[in-house]
Each structure stands twice: as C-alpha cells, then as structure tokens.
Chains A and B, each alone.
Chain A
Amino acid sequence: MRSTKNVVLSVLLFCASVAAWEGLVRLFEVPAFILPAPSQVALALWRGFSSGLYLQHLSHTLLETMLGFIAGSALGLILGTAVALSRPVEFFLYPYIVMFQSLPKVALAPLIVVWFGLGLTSKVINAALIAFFPLLVNTMVGLRSADEERVSLMRSLAASERQIFWMLRLPNSLPFVMAGLDVAMIFALIGAIVAEFVGAQKGLGMLIQSMNFNMDVSGQFSILLILSVVGLLLNRGVMMIRKRVLFWDPSEKERIDQERVSA
C-alpha cells in the first residue's frame, strides 16, 4: 500500500478534509465554543507549546502514565504468574480479580483521589489498576499454553518443574505478555487522564477540565490532538520492543514480512 502515489493521495485527502472543515465552519459561522476551525486549534496548539504550558502538563501526564504502566504491568505479571502456577491461588483469588475487573474502574477514580490525594500517587494508582488486568490474563494464558509435546520433551530429559518454567513456559508466554503490554500502555494513559479529571493540580486531563470550564473548545481540541499523538507514539514504542523480543515468534515474523512486502 505504501507507494509514493498512495502517500501523496493520503496527504491530499487529509488536507482536503481539514480545508473542508475550515470552510464549513466559516461558511456557516459556527461559534468557536461549539466547533472551532482547524486554524483556531492550530493557534491554540502553538500558544500552548510556545508558552511552555503544554509541555509542563504533558510531561506530568506522561510520568503518571509510565509509572502506572510499570506498576500495573508488574502487578499483572506477578498475579498472572501466581494464578497460572498455583491452583489454590486460582481458586481463592481469581473470582475476586474477575469481579474487580467487571467493575467500571472509572467509577473508582473519585475514591482513589479521596484516598491518595490530588498529587501524583492517585494518578499512578488509577493508571496501574486499569493497566494490570490485560497483563494478568495474558500472562496466565501464556504460561499455560506451552505445547504438550514440548512439555513431554522436557519431562523426558528429567527436567524439574522449575526448569520447565524457566526454560519453556516463561519464554513461551512472551508473545502473550507483549500483547498484554500493548493494551496496558494505552489503558495506563486512559487511567491517568480519568484520575486527572476527578481532581488534580497538573496534567493534560486537568487542563481539559479547566478549559472546558472556560469554554475554550479550541484548547480542548488541541489537547485531544496531543493525546492521540501521544497514544500512537506509546503504542509504537511497545511495538518496537515487541519486535526485538519476539524476533522468533512466527506470528510476529509474518507481521514483519507483511510490512516488508508492503514497504
């Protein structure tokens, strides 16, 4: 798909849509507090970055997201491993984990802010709570999905359960774990923003709230734009790590080959 012709076409399509948006807003004199024109969004973006305001809040949100991602992933990995390895843990703990997961965690954010304050901690905890579940499920499934024949081979070599875990089950679970990290990264960003909505002194989520209060819709659009770009970059980052770790995974190889073919 990625021929020069198509790239040019794609850029043209983008420009045409933005121009149409601009034109329609001007033609029908849509008020800026309902739908701002792209030029106004661009202006807000420029002002925000040149004053240093956006960068300050962006870096704070990124910090919350990364810390939440790391804490949540670690929790998911540990719990997932415990559930996969121990039937008692699965029996006694897993039902509660599923119950907790089926709860809309956005609804927990106000409580967490009450408990942990308006600062960094409550955001990190909220991000971690939302991010941990995909890791837990994927680690659990990954550790249990080791091929029976490979397990037989290890047993025929008189390998201990511990060796089967480290030499077979763990590397075998990596494709699943990486898929979990993919999802967790975006979930952590959502968790951080939601907690900022509820109560914060810094961060892009807080900034959206205060702009909404001032009816600065262009500003809100500019931040939504930043958030989607940040989400994309974070996702790309995880994908890069994944490619390096999973160079041996056939499904990963297929994806790489496909990208090579289309490039």
Chain B
Amino acid sequence: MATEAISVQHLSKLYATRDGGVAALERISFSIEEGAFVAVVGPSGCGKSTLLKILAGLLAPSGGNASLRGTVIQGPRRDIGVVFQAPVLFPWRTVLDNVLLPIDVQGQGRDRFLAAAKDLLALVGLREFERRYPWELSGGMQQRVAITRALIHDPAMLLMDEPFGALDAMTREHMNLELQRIWTEKKKTVFFITHSIPEAVFLADRVLVMTPRPGRIVDDLAIKLPRPRPLDLMTTPEFGAYTRHIRALFNVKGGLDA
C-alpha cells in the first residue's frame, strides 16, 4: 500500500465565540495519495483556510487528527511548501533572496541551492528578474516568485491557499496553465484551495466540495479529464458537466457568496 501524502480523520476545529463556539470544521475525513492534485472548493467561511492552516501546522485542531506522510502534524514542518493568497514577499530581499528564504531559515547553506533556485526561476519565466526587488514586479510575477519559494527546498507537497484569488481573470488563467505545467514537471502532491469552481475543475484530479456552518465535505469528485489540459477545455460539455454538478451542491446547501 502506498503511503498517503495527507490523511485526515474526524478533524474538527472550534473557534470560541461569546455565545459558545463556531465549528469551522466538523469531523472531516479524507486522504490524498502521493502526487495527486487535489482542489478544495467552497464559499468564504466554509473552513477551507482553517483546514489548510491545520495541515501547515499553524493551527492545532480541536479534535481528530491530520497526518502528512504517515506522521501526525504537530507543528510546522520542513517537507511542505505553502503559498498564500498574497505573495508575502520581503521587500528588502531581491527575487532570488526571497526564493532562498526557506534555505536561510533552515540553515542549509545557499551554495547548494543556488543552481536549483535559478532553474526554478527559469521554470516560471523569471530567470532575468532574479536581481530585481518585489515592487518592480507585477502581481502575477510576484505570485510566481512565491510559488518558486515554496518549491525551493524540494518539499514533498504544496499547500496553496487561494494563490490566484487576488489576480485579474486573464493573469489567473495564465497562472493556472503555469501551475499545471509546474505540477506536471515536479510531480508534487498539491493541496489547492479556491473558491472558483472552474479553477478547481481545470487544475485538479480530485475536487473536495465544502459547505459552511459547520464546515463539512459534501462531495469528493474525481475529475477524469485528459492532461495536459488546454484553456479551451473549459468550453467543452464534459467540463461544464463537472462545474454544473458542483454548483448544484452549493445551491442545495446554501449558495456561494463569492
């Protein structure tokens, strides 16, 4: 049996409020096989960001457990890469220095990773920008730097929290293609959170559909579309069938507010 990249059992998270508590997550269970691209789609407030924070070791669950590659998550760990909605770059570091931040933190010695950093920057088309500063880059370019940074220490998996949510529609489509290309090349397990149904269907092997109050997974949908997927795929009936199916779940369970 292959080890599962992510395994979550009966995971709950309660936030204390004045009138008792709010269940951000209620007894969620799922597992993700090594190398898969899994998207979680749901409206704002359905607990998907909470889920990612627990997987990243930034939040402790209230109940149940989550493990990565067979070991229970007990805090941040070094075999994952996280990409947030904002690029979260350090303005006083050049592009290359931003990419090398995880190496600096882990005290691994830059020399060994310099070539890898340059290769990764080339992979995302930013090779000639390595000496620039973040404020000299567009939003899409900044997010590509953030993805490169998440990959530099060669983590087993990527956790992405609405990484393209702040980008305009055209840049976003372009980034989707880029991410698909990077994933095809690197074969990392990707856990990708979004509130865009088409984005989830386009990118993922599997889509977990979440609804809020309390945060639950209401469907686990395998996307059987051939790869590599071109943008044109979004206009095909098969693609439309998947998005319609997911949208229908929200219409029953309370609509998308985004």
Contact = CB atoms under 8 A, between A and B. Distances in A.
Interface of A: 147, 149-150, 152-159, 163, 167-168, 171, 174, 248-250, 253
B138 interface: no
A149 B88 contact: yes
Given A154-B105, A156-B82, A248-B133, A171 B76 contact: no
Interface in B54-88: 56-58, 75-78, 80, 82, 84, 86, 88
Interface in B95-141: 101-102, 104-106, 133, 135
9 pairs of A and B residues whose beta carbons are closest in the complex = A158-B76, A248-B91, A156-B82, A248-B92, A157-B105, A159-B105, A153-B88, A171-B92, A149-B88
B47 to A, nearest CB: 17
B84 A158 contact: no
Which of A156, A163, A249, A250 has the most chain B CB atoms closer than 10 A to its own CB?
A: A156
B101 A157 contact: yes
A250 B135 contact: yes
B91 A156 contact: no
Nearest to A157: B105
B49 to A, nearest CB: 11
Contacts of B56: 156
B30 interface: no
A150 B80 CA distance: 17
Interface string B125-167: 0000000010100000000000000000000000000000000
B82 A153 contact: yes
Given A248-B91, A253-B135, A167 B84 contact: no
Nearest to B133: A248
Contacts of B105: 154, 157-159, 163, 167
Contact of A150 (B90, B102, B133, B135): B90
A158 B154 CA distance: 15
Contacts of A154: 105
Interface of B: 56-58, 75-78, 80, 82, 84, 86, 88, 90-92, 101-102, 104-106, 133, 135
A149 B86 contact: yes
B154 to A, nearest CB: 14
Contact of B135 (A168, A171, A174, A248): A248
A163 B106 CA distance: 10
A153 B84 CA distance: 8
A174 B57 CA distance: 30
Which of B88, B104, B133 has the most chain A CB atoms closer than 10 A to its own CB?
A: B88
Nearest to B153: A157
Interface SS majority for chain B: loop
Contacts of A167: 90, 101, 104-105
Nearest to A168: B90
Nearest to A147: B88
Given A149-B84, A152-B58, A250-B135, A157 B91 contact: no
Contacts of A157: 76, 78, 101-102, 105-106
B132 to A, nearest CB: 11
Contacts of A168: 90
Contact of A156 (B76, B86, B104, B106): B76
B115 to A, nearest CB: 21
Contact of B91 (A149, A152, A249): A249
B99 to A, nearest CB: 13
12 contacts: A149-B88, A154-B105, A156-B58, A156-B76, A156-B80, A157-B101, A157-B102, A157-B106, A158-B75, A158-B78, A167-B90, A248-B92
A24 B109 CA distance: 74
Which of A153, A158, A159 has the most chain B CB atoms closer than 10 A to its own CB?
A: A153
Nearest to A174: B92
A253 to B, nearest CB: 7
Contacts of A174: 92
A149 B90 CA distance: 11
A158 B77 contact: yes
Given A152-B88, A157-B78, 12 more contacts: A150-B90, A154-B105, A156-B76, A156-B80, A156-B82, A163-B105, A168-B90, A171-B92, A174-B92, A248-B133, A248-B135, A253-B135
Which of B56, B75, B80, B92 has the most chain A CB atoms closer than 10 A to its own CB?
A: B92
A185 to B, nearest CB: 23
Contacts of B82: 153, 156
Nearest to B103: A157
A248 B91 CA distance: 6
Nearest to A250: B135
Contact of A155 (B58, B78, B86, B102): B58
